[in-house]
Amino acid sequence: QSVLTQPPSVSGAPGQTVIISCTGSSFNIGAGYDVHWYQQLPGRAPKLLIYGNNNRPSGVPDRFSGSKSGTSASLAITGLQAEDEADYHCQSYDSSLSNFCVFGTGTKVTVL
Protein backbone atom coordinates (compact mmCIF):
# COMPACT_ATOMS: atom_id res chain seq x y z
CA GLN A 1 0.00 0.00 0.00
CA SER A 2 2.99 2.31 0.55
CA VAL A 3 3.34 4.95 -2.16
CA LEU A 4 6.85 5.85 -1.04
CA THR A 5 9.47 3.25 -1.97
CA GLN A 6 12.63 2.63 0.05
CA PRO A 7 15.31 -0.05 -0.37
CA PRO A 8 14.60 -2.93 2.05
CA SER A 9 18.12 -2.83 3.43
CA VAL A 10 21.45 -1.03 3.26
CA SER A 11 24.66 -1.82 5.09
CA GLY A 12 28.04 -0.31 5.76
CA ALA A 13 31.11 -0.64 7.92
CA PRO A 14 31.68 1.67 10.88
CA GLY A 15 32.81 5.06 9.68
CA GLN A 16 31.36 4.68 6.21
CA THR A 17 28.49 6.62 4.65
CA VAL A 18 25.17 5.06 3.74
CA ILE A 19 22.36 6.70 1.81
CA ILE A 20 18.71 5.69 1.95
CA SER A 21 16.42 6.74 -0.87
CA CYS A 22 12.71 7.46 -0.66
CA THR A 23 11.07 7.48 -4.09
CA GLY A 24 7.63 8.95 -4.59
CA SER A 25 5.69 10.60 -7.37
CA SER A 26 4.22 13.88 -8.59
CA PHE A 27 1.35 13.35 -6.14
CA ASN A 28 3.50 13.42 -3.01
CA ILE A 29 7.18 14.36 -2.85
CA GLY A 30 7.07 15.84 -6.36
CA ALA A 31 4.05 17.93 -5.41
CA GLY A 32 6.19 19.84 -2.94
CA TYR A 33 5.21 18.14 0.28
CA ASP A 34 7.87 17.99 2.97
CA VAL A 35 9.59 14.71 3.76
CA HIS A 36 10.30 13.61 7.30
CA TRP A 37 12.46 10.72 8.49
CA TYR A 38 12.03 8.53 11.56
CA GLN A 39 14.52 6.19 13.21
CA GLN A 40 13.18 3.02 14.81
CA LEU A 41 15.70 1.25 17.02
CA PRO A 42 15.12 -2.49 17.58
CA GLY A 43 12.06 -3.04 19.75
CA ARG A 44 11.38 0.68 20.07
CA ALA A 45 8.86 3.18 18.74
CA PRO A 46 9.76 5.42 15.79
CA LYS A 47 11.49 8.67 16.69
CA LEU A 48 11.71 11.86 14.64
CA LEU A 49 15.13 12.08 13.00
CA ILE A 50 14.80 14.66 10.20
CA TYR A 51 11.91 17.06 9.61
CA GLY A 52 11.08 19.39 6.78
CA ASN A 53 13.42 17.57 4.35
CA ASN A 54 16.72 18.58 5.97
CA ASN A 55 16.26 19.77 9.55
CA ARG A 56 17.51 17.94 12.64
CA PRO A 57 15.63 18.11 15.93
CA SER A 58 17.66 19.03 18.96
CA GLY A 59 19.84 16.13 20.05
CA VAL A 60 20.16 14.43 16.66
CA PRO A 61 23.82 14.17 15.62
CA ASP A 62 24.90 16.05 12.52
CA ARG A 63 25.95 12.70 11.04
CA PHE A 64 22.36 12.50 9.87
CA SER A 65 21.29 14.69 6.96
CA GLY A 66 18.36 14.82 4.60
CA SER A 67 17.77 16.11 1.12
CA LYS A 68 14.99 16.26 -1.43
CA SER A 69 14.97 16.61 -5.21
CA GLY A 70 12.15 16.13 -7.65
CA THR A 71 10.07 13.11 -6.69
CA SER A 72 12.65 11.64 -4.30
CA ALA A 73 14.28 12.28 -0.97
CA SER A 74 17.37 10.84 0.69
CA LEU A 75 18.73 10.29 4.16
CA ALA A 76 22.51 10.14 4.56
CA ILE A 77 24.33 8.75 7.55
CA THR A 78 27.99 9.69 7.56
CA GLY A 79 30.52 8.19 9.96
CA LEU A 80 28.26 5.18 10.52
CA GLN A 81 28.20 3.92 14.11
CA ALA A 82 27.00 0.66 15.63
CA GLU A 83 24.20 2.51 17.41
CA ASP A 84 22.80 3.59 14.02
CA GLU A 85 21.64 0.04 13.30
CA ALA A 86 17.89 0.50 13.05
CA ASP A 87 14.93 0.79 10.69
CA TYR A 88 14.43 4.12 8.95
CA HIS A 89 11.11 5.37 7.58
CA CYS A 90 10.36 8.33 5.34
CA GLN A 91 7.01 10.11 5.54
CA SER A 92 5.17 12.69 3.46
CA TYR A 93 1.68 13.54 2.23
CA ASP A 94 -0.19 12.57 -0.92
CA SER A 95 -2.66 14.67 -2.88
CA SER A 96 -4.19 11.60 -4.53
CA LEU A 97 -5.17 10.43 -1.04
CA SER A 98 -6.80 13.68 0.03
CA ASN A 99 -3.46 15.06 1.23
CA PHE A 100 -3.17 12.48 3.95
CA CYS A 101 -0.11 10.94 5.41
CA VAL A 102 1.95 8.28 3.66
CA PHE A 103 4.96 6.36 4.92
CA GLY A 104 7.78 4.72 3.05
CA THR A 105 8.30 0.97 2.93
CA GLY A 106 11.10 1.21 5.50
CA THR A 107 14.83 0.45 5.31
CA LYS A 108 16.89 -1.70 7.65
CA VAL A 109 20.40 -0.31 8.19
CA THR A 110 22.98 -2.89 9.21
CA VAL A 111 26.38 -1.91 10.56
CA LEU A 112 28.85 -4.57 9.47
Partner 1 sequence: QVQLQESGPGLVKPSGTLSLTCAVSGASISSSNWWNWVRQPPGKGLEWIGEIYQTGTTNYNPSLRGRLTISVDKSTNQFSLKLNSVTAADTALYYCARRITISPNYFDPWGQGILVTVSS
* Binding-site ranges for partner 1 (CB under 8 A): 1-2, 34, 36, 38, 44-48, 51-53, 55, 57, 89, 91, 93, 97-98, 100-106
Least Cβ distance, residue 15 to partner 1 (angstroms): 28
* Closest to 78 measured CA to CA, from 106, 56, 96: 56
- Residue whose CB is less far from partner 1, 13 or 59: 59
Interatomic CA distance for residues 57 and 10, integer angstroms: 24
Least Cβ distance, residue 81 to partner 1 (angstroms): 23
Least Cβ distance, residue 30 to partner 1 (angstroms): 16
- Residue whose CB is less far from partner 1, 17 or 55: 55
89 Rama sector, left if φ>0, alpha if ψ -120 to 50, beta otherwise: beta
Classify residue 101 by burial, with Cβ atoms within 10 Å: 0-12, 13-18, 19+. exposed
